[in-house]
Amino acid sequence: MRGPNRPEGGDVGRRVARRRTELGLSREQLAERTGMDPGYVAYLEENPAEPSHEALYRLAQALRTSTECLLGAGGDTPPGSAVTAVPAPAGRVLGAEECRSLIAPGGVGRVAFTTAPGAPPTVLPVTYSFWRGAVVFRTEEGGLIARHAPGAMSFEVDRLDGATAEGWSVLVTGRGRPVTDARELADLRADTDVRPWAGGRREAWIRVDEESITGRRVGDRRAPRPRAADTDADSETGTGAQAPGAGREAGGRTG
């Protein structure tokens, strides 16, 4: 029986498939990262399924996202507004290379700058790629961001899971500049697939060159070990049929 907070059949699988594609992972690679059977990953992406909390956690960790995002919950509420599982989670500072590794897959982040001395910061969401050691994104020609470049600019991206009080954030501080060189523009378009957050014609490319990069991880624990008790919960579907490979989903790969 579907719980009141469960998404409609297939939604979790579609979100898993979309995020896996964003990261450039095959189903086999995702299965390896999560300890699941590739057949179960395929079934999950293509059919209605209700994976356990543990399975969702492992998927979220492997996909560098949160269980909330995979469930599609809280779309109209800020991350972390729900009661968390850990009242005082531990945290640690991230090194520069770890920060770069976390933001390398791209996605949605926030660009911040001031429009005048003494003015409050302007913070806007953008879809970005991490390209040749810099954050790049597209914006509207003549728009607010484009008018500020070149200029001091910061960029922040995070992945937070309010259900488990775990996540990370990375802040890049540097200078944003418009990309105008024809060769650089051609390489950007060939190497990246940045689709602007707001849609529309946004043909001005901005590059934020790093002067400093800092980050922090909260609730840094490894994914829980598989438990045999999860096998039955993860293998059932709305029709009572067992997913191919689901018997090995929570128990890890067995080959």
47 near 10, Cβ under 8 Å?
A: yes
pLDDT at res. 200: 65
Report yes or no on whether pTM surpasses 0.85: no
Q: What domains can be seen in the chain, in order of their start residue?
A: 11-74+223-248 (1.10.260.40), 91-218 (2.30.110.10)
Name the H helices within 63-150.
Answer: 67-71, 96-103, 144-148
pLDDT at res. 164: 62
Q: How far apart are CA 182 and CA 52, in angstroms?
A: 50
pLDDT tens digits along 138-187: 999 889 999 999 999 999 999 876 656 678 999 999 999 999 999 999 99
pLDDT at res. 146: 93
Q: How far apart are CA 176 and CA 136, in angstroms?
A: 9
Q: How far apart are CA 48 and CA 51, in angstroms?
A: 10
pLDDT tens digits along 223-243: 443 433 343 434 333 333 344
Which residues in the chain show pLDDT less than 50? 1-9, 82-85, 222-255
pLDDT at res. 64: 82
